[in-house]
Amino acid sequence: MELHQLEYFLAVEKYGTFSAAALEINVSQSSLSQQIRKLEDELGVKLFIRGARLAKLTPAGEEFFTYARRIITEIQNSRYAMQEYTNFHKGHIKIGVIPTIGYLGIHRLILRFSRLYPGIEVDMCEANTDDLLLFLNQKKIQVAFITSPYSDEFHVDFHPLIDDDIVLLVPIGHRYANESIVYISEFSNEKFLMIKSSSGWRDSLVKACNDCGFTPNVILTTSSVELLRNFVEEGVGVALMGQRIAKQITTPRTSIVQLKQDIKRQNGLVMLPIRRPPLATRLFRDFVLQYEFDEEE
């Protein structure tokens, strides 16, 4: 079965005669009749009752008409949808980002998207995960890069992108600074510093400590990774953070300590569960989901 045979079939049904249909679609009547017969032979049924002046659908033809029209309609819809992409020149998308995107390689992703679609204006809004989820549901942004786990208060679609192990950043003079791997319970009497990300992620870290028999003494939370490192260098406390970030900010005055507990941080793209988002949003979502993050980013 070929596409043009379906188009010929629908033309004959529409115009009622082979001659009128042939004239309308600009093919010879003999070619039209031949293709309809080939279609009938393949299906094993007669589709038309051929009269002297009119061609009328048989019962089988009437049922086949439903399928043929649906197929042609879907093909036309797919063409229209693809034309949206090829003809796309201008658009706008507002992206929510957590403050640590530069340490996760997400900024490079956004830069590459902008180069691929220079007609799309990208507007970025920086906030922590909790606020970004609120902005998303208020439709102040279309998509956001957030940290998981996060509050399940909002109904959103989350696409995981980056998995990371949680480590401790400690001052170089710390008693465990030269240890390769340590139980988190060994830090039960320490003062903890945390990156301000999401209440859900903080709760998961507190729970991990609780599971090891203690409640962490969190004395400072900040969105500034550099400030957090400075406090660690000065011996104010130890910092729980993703290994990707820790590797990029560590200095000769700090040390990264691996934890025996398997505690994960996950970052990903989140958006509202809309059946058909605006084209710029769809283009960005599809680009992000196909993007490959470098392990060292």
Do 203 and 148 share a domain, yes or no? no
If you write DSSP's letter for every residue of the chain in order, what string do you get?
--HHHHHHHHHHHHHSSHHHHHHHHT--HHHHHHHHHHHHHHHTS--EEE-SS-EEE-HHHHHHHHHHHHHHHHHHHHHHHHHHHHT---EEEEEEE-TTHHHHTHHHHHHHHHHH-TTEEEEEEE--HHHHHHHHHTTS-SEEEEEES--TTS--EEEEEEEEEEEEEEETTSTTTT-SEE-GGGGTTSEEEEE---HHHHHHHHHHHHHTT---EEEEEES-HHHHHHHHHTTS-EEEEEHHHHHHH--TTEEEEEESS--EEEEEEEE---SS--HHHHHHHHHHHH----TT-
Q: Same domain for 254 and 178?
A: yes
Q: What is the pLDDT of residue 150?
A: 81
104 with 247, same domain: the answer is: no
Residue 58: left (phi > 0), alpha (psi -120 to 50), or beta? beta
Same domain, 151 and 270: yes
| Domain with 26 in it | 3-86
Q: What is the pLDDT of residues 58-86, one digit of tens each?
A: 999 999 999 999 998 888 878 766 766 65
Task: Answer yes or no: do 42 and 123 share one domain.
Answer: no
Residue 296 lies in a domain: no
On whether both 132 and 275 belong to a single domain, the answer is yes
Residue 292: the pLDDT is 81
Residues 150 and 276 in one domain: yes
Give just the sign of the alpha carbon dihedral 174, 179, 180, 186: negative
Assigned domain for 297 exists: no
Residue 270 domain flag: yes
Residue 168, pLDDT above cutoff 80: yes
Determine the pLDDT at residue 84: 60
| Cα distances (angstroms) measured from residue 18 to each of 29, 39, 57, 108, 184 | 6, 15, 12, 59, 82
Domain boundary among 86, 114, 136: 86
Q: What is the pLDDT of residues 102-134, one digit of tens each?
A: 888 899 999 999 998 888 889 999 999 999 999
Q: The pTM is what?
A: 0.67
Torsion of CA 145, 151, 157, 162, to 10 degrees: 40
CATH number at residue 277: 3.40.190.10
Clarify whether residues 104 and 177 are in a common domain: no
In a domain, 204, yes or no: yes
Give the whole-number percent of the chain exceeding pLDDT 70: 95
187 in the same domain as 235: yes
Q: What pLDDT score was predicted for residue 88?
A: 60
**131 domain-assigned:** yes
Q: Tally the domains of the chain.
A: 3
Residue 150 in any domain: the answer is yes
Examine the domain organization and report whether 116 and 128 are in the same domain: yes
Residue 295, pLDDT score: 56
- Give the Cα separation of 220 and 195 in Å (integer): 9
Let me know whether 13 and 140 are in one domain.
no
Verify that 153 and 280 share a domain, yes or no. yes
Looking at residue 83, its pLDDT comes to 62
Phi and psi, residue 55, nearest 5° = -115, 120
